[in-house]
């Protein structure tokens, strides 16, 4: 699939099936050790004593968002939250982050300082230390102002085996809050599509929320944050990994009015819009209520809801039941969503 | 070919431009095709232009027409298509409804933020 | 639903109770029709000719609640899908010219022409930008006086007046670095080709909602008068679509009892019988009819639109003379038959195999409201 193109396209970066194809067929085909979850689980059998049982969660993410500053956040804030969340999805408390900057010639130092302060603020909130990094500069026109890579590491709770392959029939699907806020926020400030809105990015560090859920529901199967590609891509990936089918109740999914309005105006599917401060959790049915309560107790989970469950059926199929009782398949984003007239 | 969204005109400006509100979102559109539209009207917006004024009285009449159709139906049945998937919710209240139920009415028209 | 407050609440058109009522009515009507001589033992074929209807039906899963003897068929309602390869190839060639910024609605960017697509050419360095409105292209032209901004103008009558208004604004502002590739088409005469084709076999037409907002209902009268095919102008919310189908079936039942076919409006809140006269006048002021080739339907005389003489300088083919490459019909592609409703998307040899949204062969799979894409993305649990 990815090899029908001879050049990388923008759509390859949008988090949908094209991106997945690029990763699986081109990149992972060469890197045989890579673990395809959001974070890699590392162990060190060569360590001695108690350390030989320690497992680390290790993740990296690169941020290329444009514009650099948007309502409620900026690329720095995103860069810290994104990796904190990826490390946390493995059931680890993130402790240390590295930061790599690629700065474009001409980037105002004031902008850089704003971004750095923003990173410090959210790192403080998430209780992570930015301990090492690297800086490079490229010529004018060769970078979008700034690209940021962060890598993060944390210790996984002993005995925890979270994995996207662990999901079972009967598990409930929980979503920590409203969909689409980040993606629509970005679109609202993008050239040509500007519209006035109160929507701010939802980017947030969720390690606390995840820890709370694990305390209340220790048999949680896995977590995943629905970033690029939206909820649809996330659910489809997990359905494929675990070989299960899923059923989602459309009415149970929280969506703010303005996000809905923007999706209608542009012709976007809200299930495919990016989120940066939301978490999906798969929890055994008998622990679902407790998990939900734990999410709602967290400052970033006030609108959490149980949106569906894992069911018998064709592996990899995610079905969406709408208000009328009709069902359709919730499909993975293919390329990127673009404003349309049809 | 026909993607258009209903929007509420909050302000008519010069040069046939207007500010509209779509579920709380605001945007400027052109009224070149609707020179008689005014603030307070609801219009259909397609590709940045209003194409028609939406008539509330007609909307209500259409709803009434359907409401008066003489049939009875049990809306809580789970359709076969879904049963085949093996999905049987114990009760719909199992699934907590979100705070915003996404209804079409605009509750507040906030000032647009930059 | 809304109670005392007079807020304009359109959520009623998504109300499940109303939808279920209409579904029940539709079942009763379909059963009654199935007992008539005309429809005994055969399906009743309703065709929609608006891509947004294709999407609305697929998204709401309406096919899964239709009675067995009703077939909802998709016709050539997606202006992107009916754009023939030579027109797409021309846009791509123009995009590759130095000094050109090609602007387009998002719908067009992934559509494959004979050899490549705008998205692929963008990856290779062409300056191609997606806009939400042609006004954005005008603004871009004003901001970049040293470039020629070309707007790929596609769409039916919902969109054409908007392009016309934009061209008129460009003229008034003296914006000389703005021009359009005119590929707009008109719907009614294309319906004549479909209604008269026994292979297509339409019993009734779900008429486009917003095209009709502009042109009204008069242009469709010939369907009832000359072909005995009833048509109902239908909206896009699930309740709107179901109401349109209900009215069509009622109409057909009347016809079997000796009544005559007629054109009516189920989408009254947005469509007047006379349409939007200002929009039609503007369209006619800037554009005039010409002949054009539709993918799958061949040349339909008078359904194309070209700029009238006073606006000739806004024609991109005059401003950017290029030789388009040899165009060809993509081998194996059955979009033409899908567009005429002769086969349903899953009956195409390539559907779901060589032709999927990730690597589409023809436009029906690319455009998010092309029949094949809608079928594929929103396929019901049973069909998948």
Threshold 0.90, pTM exceeds: no
Query: What is the rounded distance in angstroms from the CA atom of residue A43 to the CA atom of residue C230?
Result: 71
What chains are in contact with C, requiring at least 3 Cβ pairs below 8 Å? A, B
Residue A184 in contact with partner chain C when CB distance is under 8 A = no
Residue B100 in contact with partner chain C when CB distance is under 8 A = no
Question: What pLDDT score was predicted for residue A192?
Answer: 67
Query: What is the rounded distance in angstroms from the CA atom of residue C161 to the CA atom of residue B13?
Result: 21
The residue whose two tokens read 């899923």 is A246
* Chain B residues lying within 8 Å of A249, measured CB to CB: 89, 92, 95
Query: What is the rounded distance in angstroms from the CA atom of residue B41 to the CA atom of residue B6?
Result: 10
Question: What pLDDT score was predicted for residue C369?
Answer: 66
Q: Which of A196, A252, A292 sits opposite B113 (nearest CB)?
A: A196
Give the pair of three-digit tokens for residue B81. Answer: 């298509």
pLDDT tops 90 at residue B74: no
pLDDT tops 80 at residue A208: yes
Q: In tens digits, what is the pLDDT along chain C, a chain of 384 residues? A: 333 223 467 788 888 888 888 998 999 999 999 999 999 999 999 999 988 898 888 878 888 789 999 999 888 888 888 898 999 999 999 999 999 999 999 888 888 888 889 988 998 899 999 999 999 999 999 999 999 999 999 999 999 999 999 999 999 999 999 999 999 999 999 999 889 888 889 999 999 999 999 999 999 999 999 999 999 999 999 999 999 999 999 999 999 999 999 999 999 999 999 999 999 999 999 999 999 998 878 899 999 999 999 999 999 999 998 887 788 888 888 888 888 888 888 899 999 888 888 778 888 887 666 788 878 876 655 544
Question: What pLDDT score was predicted for residue C157?
Answer: 96
Question: What pLDDT score was predicted for residue B60?
Answer: 87
Q: Which of C51, C59, C358 sits opposite A328 (nearest CB)?
A: C59
pLDDT tops 90 at residue B31: yes
Superfamily of domain A35-156: PurM-like, N-terminal domain (3.30.1330.10)
Task: Place A149 in a pLDDT band, splitting at 50, 70 and 90.
Answer: very high
CA of C285 to nearest chain A CA: how many angstroms apart?
A: 23
Give the pair of three-digit tokens for residue C211. Answer: 């095209």
Q: Where are the domains of chain C?
A: 9-327, 335-377
Task: Place B56 in a pLDDT band, splitting at 50, 70 and 90.
Answer: confident
Question: What pLDDT score was predicted for residue C378?
Answer: 67
Pairing of strands A129-138, A92-104: parallel
Kindly state whether residue B79 falls inside one of the protein's structural domains: no
Where in chain C does DSSP place strands (E)? Answer: 44-48, 70-74, 100-104, 128-130, 148-153, 178-182, 204-207, 231-233, 263-265, 287-294, 298-307
Query: What is the rounded distance in angstroms from the CA atom of residue B83 to the CA atom of residue A320?
Result: 13
Kindly state whether residue B26 falls inside one of the protein's structural domains: yes
pLDDT tops 90 at residue A78: yes
Residues of the domain holding B25: 1-56
Contact (Cβ atoms closer than 8 angstroms) between residue C18 and residue B67: yes
C-alpha distances out from residue C231 to B54, C21, C44, C202, C302, Å: 22, 22, 14, 11, 22
CA of B75 to nearest chain C CA: how many angstroms apart?
A: 6
Which ranges constitute the DSSP H helices of C5-73? Answer: 16-34, 51-59
Q: Read off the pLDDT of residues A223-261 as tens digits, 9 standing for 90 and up.
A: 999 998 899 999 999 999 999 999 999 999 999 999 998
Q: Where are the domains of chain A?
A: 35-156, 172-329
Kindly state whether residue B69 falls inside one of the protein's structural domains: no
Contact (Cβ atoms closer than 8 angstroms) between residue A41 and residue A35: yes
Superfamily of domain C9-327: HypD, alpha/beta domain 2 (3.40.50.11740)
**Burial code of C223-237, b = ≥16 C-beta within 10 A, e = fewer?**
bbeebebbbbbbbbb
Contact (Cβ atoms closer than 8 angstroms) between residue A278 and residue A225: yes
Taking an 8 Å cut-off on Cβ atoms, the answer to whether A10 and C376 are in contact is no
Question: What pLDDT score was predicted for residue A81?
Answer: 96
Tell me the fold of A172-329: Phosphoribosyl-aminoimidazole Synthetase; Chain A, domain 2 (3.90.650)
CA C180 distance to own-chain centroid: 20
CA of C12 to nearest chain B CA: how many angstroms apart?
A: 7
Taking an 8 Å cut-off on Cβ atoms, the answer to whether B3 and A340 are in contact is yes
Give the pair of three-digit tokens for residue C352. Answer: 């779901």
Contact (Cβ atoms closer than 8 angstroms) between residue A26 and residue A212: no
The residue whose two tokens read 């999914």 is A253
The residue whose two tokens read 């162990």 is A43
Taking an 8 Å cut-off on Cβ atoms, the answer to whether B47 and C25 are in contact is no
Question: What pLDDT score was predicted for residue B98?
Answer: 29
Can you say whether the dihedral through the CA atoms of C218, C219, C225, C230 is positive or negative?
negative
Q: Which of A324, A329, A341 sits opposite C105 (nearest CB)?
A: A341
Contact (Cβ atoms closer than 8 angstroms) between residue B86 and residue A312: yes
Query: What is the rounded distance in angstroms from the CA atom of residue A321 to the CA atom of residue B87?
Result: 10
Query: What is the rounded distance in angstroms from the CA atom of residue C324 to the CA atom of residue C89?
Result: 6
Q: Which of B51, B56, B75 sits opposite C210 (nearest CB)?
A: B51
Question: What pLDDT score was predicted for residue C123?
Answer: 86
Strand, coil or helix: B30: strand
- How much is the mean pLDDT over chain A? 90
Q: Read off the pLDDT of residues A47-69 as tens digits, 9 standing for 90 and up.
A: 888 777 889 999 999 998 888 99
Residue B113 in contact with partner chain C when CB distance is under 8 A = no
pLDDT tops 70 at residue A1: no
Question: What pLDDT score was predicted for residue C363?
Answer: 81
C-alpha distances out from residue C275 to A303, C49, C280, C362, Å: 44, 18, 8, 33
User: Diameter of chain C by CA atoms?
Assistant: 69
CATH number at residue B42: 2.30.30.140
SS3 of A232-300: the string is: HHHHHHHHHHHCCEEEEEHHHCCCCHHHHHHHHHHCCCHHHCCCCCCCEEEECHHHHHHHHHHHHHCCC
pLDDT tops 50 at residue B95: no
Contact (Cβ atoms closer than 8 angstroms) between residue C70 and residue C26: yes
Strand, coil or helix: B25: strand
Burial class of residue B74 (count of CB atoms within 10 Å of its CB; 0-12, 13-18, 19+): exposed
Upper half-sphere CA count for residue C334 (Cβ side, 13 Å): 18
Q: Over pLDDT 90: what percentage of chain B?
A: 38
CA of C88 to nearest chain A CA: how many angstroms apart?
A: 17
Task: Place B100 in a pLDDT band, splitting at 50, 70 and 90.
Answer: very low
Interface test with A, best of B24, B28, B46, B48 (most A CBs within 10 A): B24
Query: What is the rounded distance in angstroms from the CA atom of residue C337 to the CA atom of residue C307?
Result: 31
Give the pair of three-digit tokens for residue C54. Answer: 């294709």
Residue A36 in contact with partner chain C when CB distance is under 8 A = no
Can you say whether the dihedral through the CA atoms of A28, A97, A161, A52 is positive or negative?
positive
Kindly state whether residue B110 falls inside one of the protein's structural domains: no
CA of C349 to nearest chain B CA: how many angstroms apart?
A: 26
What order of strands is seen across the sheet that includes strand C128-130? C128-130, C100-104, C148-153, C178-182
Give the pair of three-digit tokens for residue C330. Answer: 């993509």
Pairing of strands C44-48, C70-74: parallel
Contact (Cβ atoms closer than 8 angstroms) between residue C245 and residue C46: yes
CA C51 distance to own-chain centroid: 4
Task: Tell me how many domains chain B contains.
Answer: 1
Give the pair of three-digit tokens for residue A71. Answer: 């309502």
């Amino acid at each position: 699939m990815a090899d029908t193109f001879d050049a990388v396209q923008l759509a390859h970066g949008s988090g949908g099936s094209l991106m997945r194809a690029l990763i699986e067929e081109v990149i992972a085909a060469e890197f045989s050790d890579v673990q395809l979850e959001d974070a890699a689980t590392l162990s060190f059998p060569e360590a001695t004593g108690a350390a030989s049982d320690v497992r680390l969660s290790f993740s990296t993410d690169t941020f290329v968002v444009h514009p650099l500053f948007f309502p409620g956040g900026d690329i720095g804030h995103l860069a810290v939250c994104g990796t904190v969340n990826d490390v946390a999805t493995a059931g680890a408390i993130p402790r240390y982050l590295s930061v790599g900057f690629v700065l474009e010639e001409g980037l105002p130092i004031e902008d850089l300082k704003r971004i750095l302060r923003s990173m410090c603020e959210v790192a403080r909130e998430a209780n992570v230390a930015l301990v090492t990094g690297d800086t490079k500069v490229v010529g004018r026109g060769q970078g979008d102002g700034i690209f940021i890579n962060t890598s993060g590491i944390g210790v996984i709770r002993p005995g925890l085996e979270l994995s996207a392959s662990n999901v079972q029939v009967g598990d409930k699907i929980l979503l920590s809050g409203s969909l689409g806020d980040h993606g629509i926020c970005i679109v609202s400030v993008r050239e040509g599509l500007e519209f006035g809105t109160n929507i701010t990015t939802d980017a947030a560090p969720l390690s606390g929320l995840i820890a709370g859920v694990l305390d209340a529901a220790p048999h949680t199967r896995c977590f995943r944050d629905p970033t690029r590609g939206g909820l649809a891509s996330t659910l489809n990936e997990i359905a494929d990994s675990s070989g299960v089918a899923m059923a989602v109740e459309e009415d149970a999914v929280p969506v703010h009015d303005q996000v809905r309005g923007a999706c209608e105006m542009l012709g976007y599917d809200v299930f495919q819009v990016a989120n940066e401060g939301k978490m999906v959790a798969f929890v055994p049915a008998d622990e679902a209520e407790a998990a939900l309560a734990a999410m709602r107790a967290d400052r970033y989970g006030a609108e959490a809801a149980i949106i569906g469950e894992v069911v018998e059926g064709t592996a990899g199929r995610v079905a969406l039941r709408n208000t009328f009782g009709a069902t359709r398949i919730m499909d993975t984003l293919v390329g990127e969503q673009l404003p349309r007239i049809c | 070919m026909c993607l258009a969204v209903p929007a509420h005109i909050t302000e008519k400006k010069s040069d046939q431009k207007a500010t509209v509100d779509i579920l709380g979102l605001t945007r400027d559109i052109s009224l070149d095709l609707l020179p008689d539209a005014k603030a307070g009207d609801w219009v259909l917006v397609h590709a940045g232009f209003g194409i028609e004024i939406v008539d509330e009285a007609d909307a209500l009449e259409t709803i009434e027409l359907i409401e008066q159709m003489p049939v009875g139906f049990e809306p809580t049945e789970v359709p076969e298509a879904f049963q085949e998937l093996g999905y049987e919710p114990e009760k719909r209240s199992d699934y907590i409804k979100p705070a915003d139920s996404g209804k079409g009415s605009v509750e507040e028209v906030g000032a647009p933020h930059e | 639903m809304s109670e005392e407050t007079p807020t304009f609440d359109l959520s009623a058109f998504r109300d499940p109770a109303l939808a279920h009522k209409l579904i029940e009515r539709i079942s009763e009507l379909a059963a009654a029709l199935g007992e008539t001589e005309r429809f005994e033992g055969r399906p009743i074929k309703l065709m929609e000719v608006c891509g947004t209807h294709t999407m609305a039906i697929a998204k709401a899963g309406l096919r899964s609640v239709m009675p067995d003897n009703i077939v909802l068929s998709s016709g050539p309602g997606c202006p992107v899908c009916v754009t023939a390869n030579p027109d797409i190839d021309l846009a791509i060639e123009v995009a590759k010219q130095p000094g050109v910024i090609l602007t387009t609605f998002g719908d067009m960017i992934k559509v494959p022409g004979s050899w490549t697509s705008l998205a692929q050419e963008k990856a290779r360095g062409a300056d191609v930008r997606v806009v939400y409105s042609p006004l954005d292209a005008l603004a871009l032209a004003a901001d970049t006086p040293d470039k020629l901004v070309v707007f790929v103008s596609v769409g039916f009558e919902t969109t054409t007046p908007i392009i016309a208004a934009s061209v008129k604004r460009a003229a008034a502002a003296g914006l000389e670095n703005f021009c359009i590739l005119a590929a707009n088409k008109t719907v009614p005469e294309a319906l004549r080709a479909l209604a008269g084709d026994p292979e297509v076999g339409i019993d009734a037409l779900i008429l486009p909602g917003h095209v009709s907002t502009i042109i009204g209902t008069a242009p469709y009268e010939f369907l009832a008068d000359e072909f005995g095919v009833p048509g109902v102008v239908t909206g896009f919310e699930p309740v709107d679509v179901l109401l349109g189908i209900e009215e069509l079936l009622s109409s057909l039942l009347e016809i079997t009892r000796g009544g005559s076919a007629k054109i009516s409006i189920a989408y009254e809140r947005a469509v007047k019988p006379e349409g939007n006269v200002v929009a039609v006048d503007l369209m006619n002021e800037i554009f005039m009819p010409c002949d054009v080739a539709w993918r799958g339907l061949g040349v339909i005389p008078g359904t194309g639109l070209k700029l009238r003489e006073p606006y000739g300088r806004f024609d991109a083919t005059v401003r950017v003379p290029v030789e388009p490459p040899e165009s060809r019909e993509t081998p194996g592609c059955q979009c033409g038959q899908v567009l005429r409703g002769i086969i349903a998307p899953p009956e195409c040899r390539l559907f779901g195999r060589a032709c999927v949204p990730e690597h589409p062969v023809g436009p029906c799979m690319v455009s998010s409201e092309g029949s094949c894409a809608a079928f594929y993305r929103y396929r019901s649990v049973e069909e998948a």
